[in-house]
A and B are shown apart, each in its own frame.
Chain A
Amino acid sequence: LRRCLISVDRSLIEKSFPEIKRALQTNDTFPNVTILSTLENLKSIQPVDVCCVTSRLLTFYRDRVFKDHQETSPEVMRQISSIANSFLYMQKTLEQCQVHNQCHCSQEATNATRTIHDNYDQLEASSAALKSLGELDIFLAWIDENHQETSTA
């Protein structure tokens, strides 16, 4: 069964995200709280669950984070738009896999993404969105690491 693999445009990791992080970091009022939990939480995801977790986290960002964040700086708006539209493209790629039923969701995968939503709900929406944007590097790195032909989580 061929795995569903997507690729992360390097410019998102090297350009878009650093500019978002620099602009938003000072406004994060809960530095000790994390939405995406620790990278360990995501590291335990099995290869067979990578597609499902990726798809659900892309949906999480699409439907909650990008919507809950109100941005006024045109430059930061552009960088967030770049990531949001790249996520949309990734999701379309994954949806083609889901048509062939290669995006199975185990209980572990469901629990992992449920934890992320629960963390998000602990904070007020705009604070949670701000923090989630600041943690995009965790998610982008996780995608980059787990969507290689040879990757084994």
Chain B
Amino acid sequence: MNRTLSTLALVLAASLSMAQPRTFKVVTDKLEYRNLATVESVTDFETFTGRTPKVTGTLNFDLAKKTGTGNIVVDVASIDTGIALRNDHMRGGQWLDAEKHPTIKFQTTRVAHVSGDKYRVTGQFTMRGVTKTITTDATVKFRKNSAETKAAGFDGDVILLQTAFKVRLSDYGIKIPSQAAGKVSNDVAISVKAYALGN
């Protein structure tokens, strides 16, 4: 009897713990290279992609209810387009202004489960100090701590978050210089892939 009660208590505790939102932190340090934030800009001359692994943030995810909140922060100064001079321009005051606005942020305000690993996420996107509400699709995959996660280099429960969306530069106070008008698209495509470990 006692054994049965203990087992039930354990199952109940496990269920409750699963039902609670859990905090996952985006991996940094030696696993940071696995994260990838990209920004793609289309110009007449070239379609270039800036990229950085410097993504931080926290996800509070309820595995049972399939909902949660979270924030993702991308370090602007580390975005690399493959050409040093262009990096300088992009970080400069006319474009992303990394000195005054060192991060690009996304803070969720509403997360709705769509199906499987797919979610519809609404949140506050901040770039160059301007915040706008955007809605995008995201994929959130969870893997429980196991031999497989360890083999992949993750020490604990791990979440993979992926999302992609487009923003208009002009919405964020970025004015394309007159000499580049018509040659540089006002829209840029942003994507984020980040791994987060459970506490």
A and B bind: no
Q: Which residues of B are in contact with A by a Cβ distance under 8 Å? A: none
